[in-house]
Structure 1
Amino acid sequence: MTMPNSRSGVKRLGLAFSMMVAAGAGATAADAQFPSEVSAVYRLSFNGFDVGKYRFNSRYDGKSYTAKGDTQVSALFGAFKWAGNFTGSGSVEGKDPQPASFEMSTKTRSKTTSVKVSFNGSRVASVALVPNKNPSPEAVKVKPENLRNVLDPMGATLAISSANDADACNRTIPVFDGKARYDLKLTPKGREPVKEKRQSGQPAELLVCQVKYVPIAGHKPKDFVNPWIDYDHIEIALRAVPSAGVYVPYRVTVPSTIGAAVMTVESINITAANNQRIALKQ
């Protein structure tokens, strides 16, 4: 297996962080209305060293939602810096998000990229990329059928834990991020206790899901032959917050051959649909 150099390794794990934070922020339980607002701050670490923060905020007015996230990663003693910003909007059909738009921008010291995706009902209507380069001839072609009944990463943010306790870790989330179409396949892994410095009144237990990243289209097959990131054993630990009808991720782990990238909660503040306020702190 070819081992990436340190700079390449941190960069790819930064992208892995963005993939998982976009798919892992809180969403409502199946039998409750979306909270009016969820704000969260997560600490990002790589191989045991803190490398940045991820901040997330979602708002719901009873009909439509907006969700925003931003990531800041700095590693190699500041020699490498990576930033990502994500926004999404849409409506809610029953308990399921129906995305309308998604934007993502990333920036390093030498490169800036952006993606804009719009939806028309249950299908992707348009995609705009900057820089607008043709797909690699090695990439699996994205076909029209790959762009139906999919979620953008921020829509997946709201959908991934929109379930009851029995099936929160037993489902598949279809995602299109503007370039790649993939599935996040969740299966149950176990439960573990939560230690709180200040009692929140919520169940002190995590529901741990194993997540398999399944590439569908837009990817290069060679990148998934003996990959250095373990795409089969990504992990999301969810915490139920019954007072708000919401599951929130406490920890996301992306394992690799050179160390684990981990997103760990620092604080989560929730305003429930009934205006009850709930604060969770690690």
Structure 2
Amino acid sequence: MHAPFRPLLVLISLFAACLPARAEALHAVRIEQVVTLSDLVVAQSHISSLVGRDTFEIEGRLRSEPLARLFERARGTVVSRGRFERGTARPDAYLADLASGAERRQTRITFGDGRVYRLDNQPESGAKPADWVAVGGSDLVGVVDPIAATLVRAGDARDVCRRTIGIFDGVLRADLRLSPAGRGRLSARGYDGDTVVCKARLVPVSGYRAGSETLRYFSDESEIRIAFAPIGRSGVYAPVEASATTTVGTLTLETRRFEILD
């Protein structure tokens, strides 16, 4: 996957579809989002989801828009399924089928005992550059995939942003550090209500080039905000708005539909 494309995918890879392993109260949700760069629509995502208090299965589709394809055509499907433990998403399996330009990459991750149990990247990565920061075994403990990372279970809205989430997408290991940044409001099809706004920082840990200016910018300079909204009465919050400054403009995620069907 093209290097600048990966951190953007981590930031905009969002959302949910849940099929529980046991009976529980579920919320069926339909979500439609657009991604803009300096007010130009560059991508769309469509998500169908069922979310419960204890289990989840996330499925989403992302595709670039015609203007963005002048630069690099992007499309992808992502799926993550798992459960919640002590307010934290614990994925069991993750699949990403992503394409950027002529490149296509499929990643499968199996999680077990609180860590990455099995990883399969196709095609396999080639030789690493001299400044590559290798992923160590301890880096893969207590991590989630970038899709499960977007789901937060909290007993109180004030606790949504008080956390650091370890993310692993099959190559990059990073920490998403959230801190409170106030409240907001979302008016979209199916939802008109308050949101919880977090300030975010994406900090690379391993699986990247030490000399990557893109990751250095996201870690040290980018201003990132993520707004979460509750999914019914499940106690689970999902991101409905996000923004991140980049070297070429502001990347923004906007939700046009956030509809709970049950």
Where in structure 2 are the equivalents of 1:123-202 lying within 5 Å? 123-134=115-126, 135-159=128-152, 162=154, 164-195=156-187, 200=191
Partner amino acid, structure 2, of 1:265: T
Distance 1:74 1:81, change over 3 A: farther
- From the two aligned structures, give the one with the greater strand fraction: 2
Aligned to 1:115, which of 63, 85, 107? 107
Partner amino acid, structure 1, of 2:140: L
Partner amino acid, structure 1, of 2:44: K
Distance 1:21 1:35, change over 3 A: farther
Distance in 1 (CA, whole Å) between partners of 2:149 and 2:135 is 19
Structure 2 residue 250 is matched with structure 1 residue 260: yes
CA contact (8 A) 2:53 2:236 kept: no
Residue 240 of structure 2 corresponds to which residue in structure 1?
250
Partner amino acid, structure 2, of 1:144: G
Identity, % of aligned pairs? 21
Where in structure 2 are the equivalents of 1:1-282 lying within 5 Å? 12=4, 15-22=6-13, 24-25=14-15, 35-60=26-51, 64-76=55-67, 78-79=69-70, 80-134=72-126, 135-159=128-152, 162=154, 164-195=156-187, 200=191, 204-224=193-213, 227-229=216-218, 232-240=222-230, 243-271=233-261, 277=262
CA contact (8 A) 1:117 1:124 kept: yes
| Alpha-carbon shift at residue 70 of structure 1 (Å) | 1.2
Distance 1:75 1:228, change over 3 A: farther
CA contact (8 A) 2:203 2:219 kept: no
Q: Aligned with 1:36: secondary structure?
A: strand
| Alpha-carbon shift at residue 34 of structure 1 (Å) | 6.8
TM-score, reference length from structure 1:
0.77
What 5-or-longer segments of structure 2 have no aligned partner? 18-23
Partner amino acid, structure 1, of 2:113: G
Query: Which of 1 and 2 has greater Rg?
Result: 1
| Alpha-carbon shift at residue 240 of structure 1 (Å) | 3.7
CA contact (8 A) 1:123 1:150 kept: yes
Distance 1:136 1:55, change over 3 A: farther
Partner amino acid, structure 2, of 1:54: S
Aligned length: 253
